């Protein structure tokens, strides 16, 4: 805490990792004496820069840009960019640490990073978004490259923003390298990248349910958020036979007892994507109940998939879910479940998967996009989906292997942290003290 003042999210993420790996370190003195844990919780570097751009009224605006390069022990730095007013060094350091473990779990050769800006895209015109992205990319371009650091999207950054940034970096470098993933089809994107995080989360939850002798078929599911991850988690849960009864944004939630249909999901996508609409608009369009200022966790469901943002499901929410008989919780977002809420699930014996395991599908498909671009190959959506399914199954098996308890239960948190730690630690140790 002394070295990282005012960084509560980062300290929270470090504490969660240390709690899991401490017993493992105690059992492996070689690791404990190598300082590898201390090295692993300190980012390689954190870069901050000014982003200057001009709004539609001709006024000069200044935002702050960041790139936290956490570790490249396994491969080029890799992780998303977030544009949101809540972005600061603490949030990005926590996300970069999580990303390092997550990328290790995929078994792909990827290091970990995260970046972004406190720029708020809400209410900005398409021209303003483009000018901001270009200004951000001009500065970021000094620090990234196909074999150095390959950013992707996150909150507030989708294929449109990635396109603008990739275009500027291509012009500056005069090279067509894969410097960003999450590109659109026309510029070498993977056909499954938009779906991958949401689908991957549902694949992981399906494996958790299968281990308990169940499946999504006929279950009720609560999803929070209404963005990229939430939309495709809803789609895959529906395709798996579940009834998805909630969706939300930072203003409130929608409850629809009849559940989503493909038509309703198309309406949600139409309202949200590119138009900046709210879930209240969606509720009005489809005739569902909207509750301002509420989160979905008081609605009785079998499976909870938090897909919005960090710390959006607290201990009271967890108690409500447990009271209502929840059977499985898998994070689509990064760290949406607070540590106190995680303890409630643990005490109640509810299987709970942290995002670094269950939402790793996005970066896994980004890794595949890098491979395809390097080989100048395009794979079909079905081919990428099959690889994604295999990778998620592998991560689930790894978590079970490293997180199994004597009583037959699995701590997915311990499993993910220990497995990720071991992979990065082995690579660090093999490369000496550096
Ligand atoms: P989007 O920007 O597409 O959507 C974010 C959603 O979260 C919106 O519905 C937004 O509502 C909501 N939200 C944001 N802040 C808050 C808040 N403070 N309280 C409640 N709701 C909030 O982002 P993504 O879907 O891409 O990302 C969602 C989460 O998934 C993030 O944690 C991200 O880090 C994680 N993730 C994303 C990956 C990806 O591939 N996209 C990969 C792995 C993890 P509103 O519109 O009101 O702001």
Question: Is 404 close to ligand 1, i.e. is its CB under 6 Å away?
Answer: no
> Residue 162 contacts by C-beta under 8 Å, 6 or more apart in sequence?
152, 153, 180, 181, 182, 183, 184
Q: Where are the alpha helices (DSSP H) in 174-261?
A: 193-211, 228-239
Out of 308, 317, 334, give the residue to mutate to test ligand 1, the one with the largest number of ligand atoms within 8 Å of its CB.
308
Q: In this structure, which residue's CA is closest to atom 19 in ligand 1? A: 250
Q: What is the pLDDT of residues 196-239, one digit of tens each?
A: 999 999 999 999 999 999 999 999 999 999 999 999 999 999 99
Q: Which of 114, 183, 236, 356 is catalytic?
A: 114
334 within ligand 1 shell (Cβ under 6 A): yes
Q: What is the pTM of this model?
A: 0.95
What atom of ligand 1 comes closest to residue 336's alpha carbon?
32
Query: Is the pLDDT at 404 greater than 90, yes or no?
Result: yes
For 246, list phi and psi in degrees, rounded to 5. -140, 160
The pLDDT > 90 percentage for the chain reads 94
Cβ 228 under 6 angstroms from ligand 1: yes
| pLDDT reported for residue 276 | 82
Q: Residue 149 has which token pair?
A: 């650091």
| Complex prediction ipTM | 0.98
Q: Whose CA is nearest to atom 18 of ligand 1?
A: 250
Q: What DSSP assignment string belongs to 145-190?
A: BTTTEEEE-BTTB-HHHHHHHHHHHHHHHT------SS--GGGT--
- Does the beta carbon of 388 lie inside 6 Å of ligand 1? no
71 touches ligand 1 (CB under 6 Å): no
Q: Which two tokens stand for residue 170?
A: 């291509």
25: left (phi over 0), alpha (psi -120 to 50) or beta: alpha
Structure tokens at 431: 């490369």
Can 93 be counted among the known catalytic residues?
A: no
Taking only the tens place, the pLDDT of each residue in 349-380 is 999 999 999 999 999 999 999 999 999 999 99
| Chain mean position to CA 301 | 23
CA distances in angstroms from 210 to 190, 207, 213, 321, listed in the order given: 29, 5, 5, 20
pLDDT of 298-332, one tens digit each? 999 999 999 999 999 999 999 999 999 999 999 99
State whether the beta carbon of 151 lies less than 6 angstroms from ligand 1. no
């Amino acid at each position: 805490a002394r070295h990282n003042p005012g960084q509560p999210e980062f300290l929270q993420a470090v504490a969660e990792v240390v709690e899991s790996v401490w017993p493992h370190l105690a059992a492996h003195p070689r690791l404990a004496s190598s300082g590898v844990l201390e090295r692993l919780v300190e980012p390689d570097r954190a870069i901050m820069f000014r982003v200057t751009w001009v709004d539609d009224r001709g006024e000069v605006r200044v935002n702050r840009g960041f790139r936290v390069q956490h570790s490249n022990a396994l491969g080029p730095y890799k992780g998303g960019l977030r544009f949101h007013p809540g972005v600061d060094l603490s949030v990005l350091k926590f996300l970069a640490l999580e990303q390092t473990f997550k990328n290790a779990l995929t078994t792909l050769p990827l290091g970990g990073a995260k970046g972004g800006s406190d720029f708020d895209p809400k209410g900005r015109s398409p021209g303003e978004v483009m000018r901001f992205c270009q200004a951000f990319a001009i500065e970021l371009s000094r620090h990234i490259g196909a074999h150095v650091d390959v950013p992707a999207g996150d909150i507030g950054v989708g294929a449109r923003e990635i396109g603008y940034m990739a275009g500027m970096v291509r012009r500056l470098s005069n090279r067509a390298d894969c410097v960003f993933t999450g590109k659109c089809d026309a510029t070498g994107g993977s056909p499954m990248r938009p779906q991958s995080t949401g689908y991957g989360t549902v694949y992981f939850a399906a494996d958790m349910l299968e281990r308990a002798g169940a499946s999504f078929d006929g279950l009720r599911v609560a999803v929070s958020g209404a963005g990229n991850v939430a939309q495709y988690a809803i789609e895959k849960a529906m395709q798996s036979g579940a009834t998805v009864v909630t969706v939300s944004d930072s203003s409130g939630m929608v409850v629809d007892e009849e559940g989503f249909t493909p038509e309703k999901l198309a309406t949600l996508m139409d309202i949200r994507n590119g138009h900046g609409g709210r879930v209240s608009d969606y509720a009005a369009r489809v005739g569902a109940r909207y509750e301002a200022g509420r989160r979905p966790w008081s609605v009785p469901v079998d499976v909870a998939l938090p897909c919005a943002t960090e710390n959006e499901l607290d201990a009271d929410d967890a108690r409500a879910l447990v009271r209502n008989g929840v059977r499985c919780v898998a994070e689509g977002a990064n760290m949406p479940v607070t540590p106190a809420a995680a303890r409630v699930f643990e005490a109640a014996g509810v299987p709970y998967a942290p995002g670094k395991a269950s939402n790793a599908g996005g970066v896994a498909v980004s890794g595949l996009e890098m491979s395809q671009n390097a080989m100048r190959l395009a794979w079909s959506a079905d081919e990428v989906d099959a690889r994604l399914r295999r990778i998620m199954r592998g991560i689930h098996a790894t978590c079970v292997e490293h997180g199994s308890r004597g009583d037959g239960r699995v701590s997915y948190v311990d499993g993910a942290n220990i497995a990720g730690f071991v992979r990065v630690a082995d690579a660090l140790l093999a490369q000496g003290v550096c």
